[in-house]
Copies of this chain bind each other. A is one copy, B any other.
Amino acid sequence: MSLWETYIRDVEPYVPGEQPGGENIIKLNTNENPYPPAPGVEKALRDMDPALFCKYPDPSAGILVEALADCYRQPRERIFVGVGSDDVLAMAFLTFFNSKKPVLFPDVTYSFYPVWARLFGIPYETPALDEEFRIKPEDYKRENGGIVFPNPNAPTGLFLPLSHVEDIVKANRDSVVIVDEAYIDFGGRSALPLIDRYPNLLVVQTFSKSRSMAGMRVGFAVGQEELIRALGNVKYSYNSYTMNMPSIVLGTEAVKDEAYFRETRRRIMNTREKAKTKLARMGFSCTDSMTNFLFITHPKVKAAELFEALRQRQIYVRYFQAPRLDSHLRVTVGTDEEMEVLYDFLESYLDRL
- A contact residues vs B (CB 8 Å cutoff): 2-5, 7-9, 11-16, 19, 27, 30, 32-37, 41-42, 45-46, 48, 50-59, 83-84, 86-87, 90, 94-99, 115-116, 118-119, 145-146, 173-176, 199-200, 208, 212-217, 226, 230, 232-234, 236-247, 250
Contacts and interface: CB of A to CB of B under 8 A. Distances in A.
Given A3-B174, A83-B239, A11 B233 contact: yes
Identical copies of this chain, number: 2
Contacts of A145: 7
A41 B244 CA distance: 15
Given A12-B237, A119-B237, A236-B15, A34 B7 contact: no
A237 B116 contact: yes
Contacts of A50: 36-37, 41-42, 45, 250
The 3 nearest A-B residue pairs measured at CB: A3-B174, A215-B245, A16-B240
Contacts of A116: 237-238
A171 B23 CA distance: 53
A45 B214 CA distance: 18
21 contacts: A3-B175, A7-B99, A7-B146, A9-B234, A13-B236, A15-B236, A16-B56, A32-B54, A37-B54, A41-B50, A52-B215, A53-B213, A53-B214, A116-B238, A118-B237, A215-B245, A216-B246, A217-B241, A217-B244, A244-B244, A244-B246
Given A9-B94, A36-B53, 5 more contacts: A4-B96, A19-B58, A36-B50, A53-B212, A83-B242
Contact of A16 (B53, B173, B236): B236
A16 to B, nearest CB: 4
Nearest to A15: B236
A334 to B, nearest CB: 11
A216 B248 CA distance: 11
Contact of A217 (B16, B57, B212): B57
Given A50-B37, A97-B7, A14 B240 contact: yes
